[in-house]
Amino acid sequence: MFHSARSNVDVRRIADAIASAPDLEAAFDRLINELSAELGTRGCIFRRGERGWTLVSQNRGGLGVAISDLLLVLNALPEDRELAAINLSGLKQGVWTSLVLSIGDAPTLLLLAGDWTQAGVLSAFGVTASFALRSVQEHERRRRAEQAVVDGYVMGRNLSRGVGLDNACQRIVQHVSRSMGVDRVTLALYEPDDDRIAIAATSRPTLTELQGLRIEPGAWVMGHVYASRRSVVVRDTRELPVTPKKGTPYRTFSFAAVPMLSGADAIGVLAATDKKDGSAFERQDVAALRLFSASAALAVKAAQSEAEAHRLAHAATVDALTGLFNRPYLDARLHQEFERARRGSSSLTLLLADIDDFKTINDTHGHQIGDAVLQAVAGVLRSAVRVFDVCARYGGDEFAILMPSSDQSSVVASAERIRRSVADFGGDEEGGSRLPRVTMSVGVAVIEPGDTPPDLVRRADECLYVAKAEGKNRVRLSAPPLLHRVSFITPTPRKPS
């Protein structure tokens, strides 16, 4: 049925209502509600994205037909006709009128019940409404850009507090995903040792296909972005010379990837795909992603520097051969634990242990075997002490164990367990040959009133000297106040070799 009534639609009032909407979704709602009220008819609006036509707004129940049936009609509409009558009698809906609205790159279609093609209303209204909708869209883009600046600042501020590299990468992808309305965000970092780009974090941790992925610079999209240091945005992967594999987990065909730069150096790539609204990535999205990548690069470099500082600080406290703490670290901890024991009136014990006849081992088997013996003994010591004890290489073939809050009986038991473990470990295989059996002598000193750290070390060293002088492979414990009051512990008979 052709409608000629109500040809004087208040276009300006409706356009003002559209233009004042806070976002495009609200603008579509206002358009269809105001126009349908003016014309006294039903209406709906569809937009075509990568996955086809999508209903974005309707009133009075819209068409009231199955979307699948309607899509067949919409796909058959000629794209060059801005205003057309559609016969939906086959769907029991009679005649409807379609009006194409020009809003960006996504085709938008307004449908109204009845034939309004000759009313002289919709053609002029379509032009005005399109301008109003584009105004809302542009305002929304500017607002998103401004919000991206704020979000980038917030992300950088939150990550500047030192959260560790792994945590920082995961926070970055989650923040970008929320701020940009993107379902999948991936962050890859360059690993100099492998000369590869490795996936460091993804906003979808369940994506097993990304785990352990290594990308050569220049290969794939991420490798190209890293090597060229230039951003890439693809509106539709189906238009690329190489089509994507079927069955990929992505919902859309558009993605964007930007390099993460630290000065002139690229340190990684930040990529996004699957916008939650199903639309393609545009220049504004790439600009926002670049902004986030700048903050992300600063956070990643800070986390890497912090991790390297921790690694170097830890390396400065560890003996390179045995992996135990070194002498400077032991000296520092000795003073700390000494003060803690003095303030808390608690106990503190120092064990000094020496491998018996270690020079003979070096002279007989060579220094390589000697180093292997030191490493094996260090492993025995590490496994024989408590987690909060300080086990260190004191120098040469001598080891030290600092044991806070330990009474005399437990100290004697621990020292004997260490001595017996070293004597019984049987030697490990090293380069196809068996390591020689070794024994260890142990001197033990417990803190006494009026002690200083050097006093504790001196008494432990004197007890070690006594253990060596009395035949080795034994433990000697100093008992206050005189050195000759020591506990003699009979060595366990050695197993035949």
Q: 265: pLDDT confidence band, cut at 50, 70 and 90?
A: confident
Each residue of 81-121: pLDDT tens digit?
788 888 877 777 788 888 888 887 778 888 888 888 876 77
Average pLDDT of every residue of the chain: 81
Each residue of 139-157: pLDDT tens digit?
877 777 666 666 666 666 6
- Residue 327, φ and ψ in degrees, nearest 5: -60, -45
Distance CA 391, CA 384 (A): 10
pLDDT for position 50: 63
Q: 126: pLDDT confidence band, cut at 50, 70 and 90?
A: confident
CATH class for the domain made up of 11-138: alpha beta
Q: 495: pLDDT confidence band, cut at 50, 70 and 90?
A: very low
Distance CA 5, CA 96 (A): 16
The better pLDDT of the pair 190, 303 is held by 190
Distance CA 466, CA 479 (A): 13
Q: 246: pLDDT confidence band, cut at 50, 70 and 90?
A: low
pLDDT for position 463: 94
Domain assignments of the chain as residue spans, ordered by start: 11-138, 163-312, 327-488
Predicted model pTM: 0.53
pLDDT for position 427: 58
The residues, any chain, with a CB within 8 Å of residue 20's CB and separated by 6 or more, are none
pLDDT for position 483: 39
The better pLDDT of the pair 215, 197 is held by 197
Give the CA-trace dihedral at 406, 410, 414, 416, to 10 degrees: 140
Q: Region 329-353: what's the mean pLDDT? A: 91
Q: Region 168-182: what's the mean pLDDT? A: 86
Same fold yes or no, 11-138 and 163-312: yes
Out of 83-97, 206-220, 310-324, the most confident range is 310-324
Q: Region 355-360: what's the mean pLDDT? A: 92
Q: Region 268-280: what's the mean pLDDT? A: 85
pLDDT > 70? residue 486: no
Q: 308: pLDDT confidence band, cut at 50, 70 and 90?
A: confident
pLDDT for position 5: 44
Out of 2-16, 25-39, 101-115, 244-258, the most confident range is 25-39
- The gap from C-alpha 103 to its chain's centroid, in whole angstroms, comes to 38
Q: Express as a percent the part of the chain with pLDDT over 90.
A: 23
Q: Which of 47, 452, 482 has the alpha carbon at shortest distance from 279? A: 47
pLDDT > 70? residue 159: no
Yes or no: say if 90 and 138 are a contact pair by the CB < 8 Å rule: no
pLDDT for position 211: 58
Each residue of 387-424: pLDDT tens digit?
889 999 999 999 999 999 887 788 888 899 999 989 88
Yes or no: say if 100 and 78 are a contact pair by the CB < 8 Å rule: no
Could you tell me which CATH number the domain at 327-488 has? Answer: 3.30.70.270
Q: Express as a percent the part of the chain with pLDDT over 70.
A: 81
| Among 219-223, 363-367, 429-433, the least confident range | 429-433
* Angstrom distances, CA of residue 238 to CA of 76, 104, 155, 235, 359: 22, 20, 34, 9, 73
pLDDT > 80? residue 197: yes
pLDDT > 90? residue 354: yes
The CATH number corresponding to 163-312 among 3.50.50.60, 3.30.450.40, 3.40.50.1370, 3.30.465.10 equals 3.30.450.40
pLDDT for position 142: 75
The three-state secondary structure class of 344 is helix
Q: Region 236-248: what's the mean pLDDT? A: 59
The three-state secondary structure class of 493 is coil
Per the document, the length of the chain is 497
Strands 440-446 vs 475-478: parallel, antiparallel or unpaired: parallel
Distance CA 306, CA 164 (A): 8
pLDDT for position 401: 95
